[in-house]
Structure 1
Amino acid sequence: MPVPVPRQRNAPAVETTGDGADGNAAGGGGVSSVGARGVSGGVSSGDLTLLVIEDDPAGTFSVPQLLDAAGTRIRIRTARNLTEAERLLTDDVHCILVDLALPGAGDEELGPLKHVLRLAPRHAVLALTTSGDAERAAEAVRVGAQDHLFRDELDERLLSRAIRYAVERKRADRAQVKLAESRLRAQENARLERGLLPTPLLQGSNLRFSARYRPGRSRALLGGDFYDTVRTPDGTVHAMIGDVCGHGPDEAALGVELRIAWRALTFAGLCGDELLSTLQRVLEHERESEEIFATLCTVDIAPDGRRAGLCLAGHPAPLLARQGRAAQLLPYDDGGPALGLLPRARWPRRQVELGGAWSLMMYTDGLIEGRTGPDTKQRLGQDGMVEMINRQLAAGLEGEELLESAVAEVRELNGGELTDDVAVLLLSRSGSRS
């Protein structure tokens, strides 16, 4: 015969409010009028709410609330089956006590408990059974309950302490899960960064290389921006920058695949339209949706450093600054579409004269889509970027310093972190090397 939990002698009687006529008809237990904090609320202060799920006509839990040793009120709700429990499982419930003898949830071992664990993964859960069923009680903890209680040993003090400890353990478990997830995100971020932003292979080249990447504020992981620079055995320097539409690990992973494919194809001797057509086939095979596309800009610089071939696949044109001249955008009128948009697209290769001393800046659209002020919707755009870079060049900035200043000014104009990722790379050649 179940032993009722006795009312505390020093706890004043509290008037309860039922769940309404429907709740009384369904057999739902009363709920005290004392307010309770949500699941995310602190345990050290504020009331707690216990949802008891048991089919017990004798009414083991015959009081509407308890008062533990710390002075915390514990309100008690009772449900006689899993269906009723789902209705009573509101956000202010902190802990659930499940009778392992409860019928329902099929023939699965510990079925009712497993059902509750699936239904309420954020809640602390206690298992209730008899002392003669210790093995089953231990199994309940193994499958996910915070603790177990024996009905024939239960009293008010033990129950209130078990509830508090279960809630605290659940909070600690959730904190550990979040910490583990944070570490995994950091590891994934580092792995993707190594894939998206590699070390350039420029051994033997007289070109200087600089790059900057800044993630947008709306993502914990890198987005789909990527770049690469390599020098092939014939002395040609190849540079590429691209952007997969969308943000998140899937897009970043696709960006890594495209960058690695670009490097392999470049070393295999592909260039221009042939290279981009092959990359499009890679994207079409690897993308999760036909709506995914990628923009790309490729440049191949002749061994003498004075000429380059340019291909654009829906990507902003690079910025070229020659010695003694203002920086300007390279021609982009005859560029091709982004990769993945048209199945039989073509990407013409335009020849560009660089001259003796120059700097070539390639970038993703995050650099030009920032606002020109915190209180305006106007975008910086390519014209605004050109004006900004010319002003910084006139101030004597170059290389890493130029890129750092450009990204910082764009962020400042935007009034804070940019929404989109920004990737920028700069290749420069001194006029004394001809």
Structure 2
Amino acid sequence: MRTKTVRVLLVEDDDGDALLVEALLEEASAPFILARAHTLAEAESLLPDAECVLLDLGLPDSQGLDGLHRLLAKPDAPAILVLTGHDDEREGISAVAAGAEDFLIKGKVDGELLLRGVRYAVERRRADHAQFQLREAKLLAAERSRLERGLLPPALLQNSDVNLEVRYQPGGQRMLLGGDFYDAVGLPDGTVHAIIGDVCGHGPDEAALGVCLRIAWRALVLSGAPAEKVLRTLDQVLVAERHGEGIFTTACMVTVAPDRRSARYFLAGHPEPLLMVGRQIVDLPPSKIGVPLGVLPDYAWTGVDVPLPSGWSLACYTDGLIEGRVPDDVDRLGVERLCEILARHLRDGSDWMDSVIAEVTELNGGPLDDDVAVLLLKDGK
């Protein structure tokens, strides 16, 4: 089995001690590439190319553990073995406590011991780095799970005759949450409220803001606040909680009447919903899209009333579904072509959500750049 070559940086100002180390490595026939620095400043410039550092604690520009601390503070610092004199064993122990992998006493080391020490230090640093990456991945997964529960919660539609289906697909290769959110709530009088929203941008700050808005929306709906007041209050919450000036959120809010034969929806800079009856897409009344939340203070959003025939379903979605690319076309997919795709899949049956998202993704030539959320309300009567 071939032994991997290790890049070693010797930081030693004494030529005699440096020569001894080189001789010990030659004696052990060690597969090392050895570089030397005479000062700590020189070592700092050579550090990115090293896998292991043999560090003397007495240098012209560094004494004691100061040099060790400076090297360990560098990003992706390599493994460090400290070289001490005969009378400095206590300092070597202190160096290990400060982060060195081990210490070696000059004059008491042969080639084999030096070889094992370097290999052990390198492998231990690799194992520590792998363990750190694993912990980071677990923390990231836990954070993602918490944010996902906040952005995409279970709906409060117990004992409701309105059926709900939802889909969420993160954008790009990130497989991380953005700022898309949705929720649905049924009230004791039979009214069903639903919202889908999209915080501009991507990342944990946007996701946290989406969680904040979604929770505020649910609280306002459960308190019985009128739809117009809900949007105005969400606008105020957004302005107060956003992490940067200019951050806005689009939203579509829907209220389905208790008799299930009418609905009212509000658009805050968001694509309008799609109404389907059976296997047909039905045109909605002309609507005013309105401005996104967080753009104009004291803006008044107006609702659009829609009659709902028997067997209706209403799809709300974020713009990631219509902003994908189309082969041989400079324009984005758009609503019109989405409706063409949806109409074709409706003819094949009512379970269209996964197949439509898959086709849009395929037309894009790979994962969509933006997150996609779809909320589908269906007449259960």
TM-score by length of 2: 0.92
How far residue 322 of structure 1 moved from its aligned partner, in angstroms, is 2.4
Secondary structure, counterpart of 2:80 in structure 1: strand
Partner of 1:136: 91
Partner of 1:102: 59
8 A Cα contact 1:294 1:338, kept in partner: yes
Q: Note if 1:372 corresponds to 2:322.
A: no
Mapped to 2, the partners of 1:329 and 1:62 lie a distance apart of: 86
How far residue 216 of structure 1 moved from its aligned partner, in angstroms, is 1.6
Uncovered stretches (5+) of structure 2, i.e. residues with no partner:
none
Which of residues 270, 289, 292 is equivalent to 1:338? Answer: 292
8 A Cα contact 2:287 2:304, kept in partner: no
Q: Note if 1:303 corresponds to 2:258.
A: yes
Partner of 1:390: 343
8 A Cα contact 1:309 1:351, kept in partner: yes
Mapped to 1, the partners of 2:258 and 2:311 lie a distance apart of: 14
Secondary structure, counterpart of 2:107 in structure 1: helix
Range with bigger deviation, 55-64 or 309-318: 55-64
Q: Amino acid of the residue matched to residue 90 of structure 2?
A: E
* 1:194-241 Cα distance to aligned partner (Å, 9 max, x none): 111111111232111111111123324211111000011221100000
Secondary structure, counterpart of 1:419 in structure 2: coil
Secondary structure, counterpart of 1:416 in structure 2: coil
How far residue 376 of structure 1 moved from its aligned partner, in angstroms, is 4.8
Q: Note if 1:253 corresponds to 2:211.
A: no
Q: Amino acid of the residue matched to residue 394 of structure 1?
A: R
How far residue 327 of structure 1 moved from its aligned partner, in angstroms, is 0.9
Q: Note if 1:405 corresponds to 2:351.
A: no
8 A Cα contact 1:185 1:221, kept in partner: no
8 A Cα contact 1:140 1:148, kept in partner: yes
* 1:126-174 Cα distance to aligned partner (Å, 9 max, x none): 1121343333222222222122111231232222221111111111111
Distance 1:173 1:309, change over 3 A: same
Mapped to 2, the partners of 1:418 and 1:188 lie a distance apart of: 23
> C-alpha root-mean-square deviation of aligned residues, in Å?
2.3
Which of residues 262, 265, 278 is equivalent to 2:220? Answer: 265
Secondary structure, counterpart of 1:315 in structure 2: coil
Which is bigger in relative contact order (C-alpha 8 A, separation at least 6)? 2
Q: Amino acid of the residue matched to residue 47 of structure 2?
A: L
8 A Cα contact 2:194 2:253, kept in partner: yes
Q: Note if 1:284 corresponds to 2:234.
A: no
Which of residues 310, 327, 334 is equivalent to 1:381? Answer: 334
Distance 1:68 1:358, change over 3 A: farther
Distance 1:58 1:262, change over 3 A: same
8 A Cα contact 1:368 1:381, kept in partner: yes
Q: Amino acid of the residue matched to residue 94 of structure 1?
A: E
Identity across aligned pairs (percent)? 49
State how 1:180-219 maps to structure 2 within 5 Å: 180-219=135-174
Partner of 1:418: 368
Range with bigger deviation, 77-86 or 131-140: 131-140
Secondary structure, counterpart of 1:312 in structure 2: strand
Which of residues 286, 303, 306 is equivalent to 1:349? Answer: 303
Distance 1:138 1:377, change over 3 A: farther
Partner of 2:377: 427
Range with bigger deviation, 75-84 or 168-177: 75-84
How far residue 64 of structure 1 moved from its aligned partner, in angstroms, is 5.5
Q: Note if 1:54 corresponds to 2:25.
A: no
Mapped to 1, the partners of 2:336 and 2:65 lie a distance apart of: 67
Mapped to 2, the partners of 1:179 and 1:222 lie a distance apart of: 20
Q: Amino acid of the residue matched to residue 130 of structure 1?
A: G
Mapped to 1, the partners of 2:175 and 2:261 lie a distance apart of: 41
Secondary structure, counterpart of 1:386 in structure 2: helix
Mapped to 1, the partners of 2:339 and 2:355 lie a distance apart of: 14
Mapped to 2, the partners of 1:150 and 1:221 lie a distance apart of: 49
Secondary structure, counterpart of 1:233 in structure 2: coil
8 A Cα contact 2:181 2:373, kept in partner: yes
8 A Cα contact 2:276 2:312, kept in partner: yes
Secondary structure, counterpart of 2:59 in structure 1: coil
8 A Cα contact 1:68 1:74, kept in partner: no
Distance 1:286 1:80, change over 3 A: same
Secondary structure, counterpart of 1:427 in structure 2: strand
Q: Amino acid of the residue matched to residue 379 of structure 1?
A: R
Partner of 2:272: 317
Mapped to 1, the partners of 2:75 and 2:182 lie a distance apart of: 44
Q: Which structure has the highest strand share of the two?
A: 2
8 A Cα contact 1:335 1:348, kept in partner: no
How far residue 57 of structure 1 moved from its aligned partner, in angstroms, is 5.0
Q: Amino acid of the residue matched to residue 217 of structure 1?
A: G
Secondary structure, counterpart of 1:202 in structure 2: coil
How far residue 45 of structure 1 moved from its aligned partner, in angstroms, is 4.2
Q: Amino acid of the residue matched to residue 354 of structure 1?
A: L
Q: Note if 1:125 corresponds to 2:83.
A: no
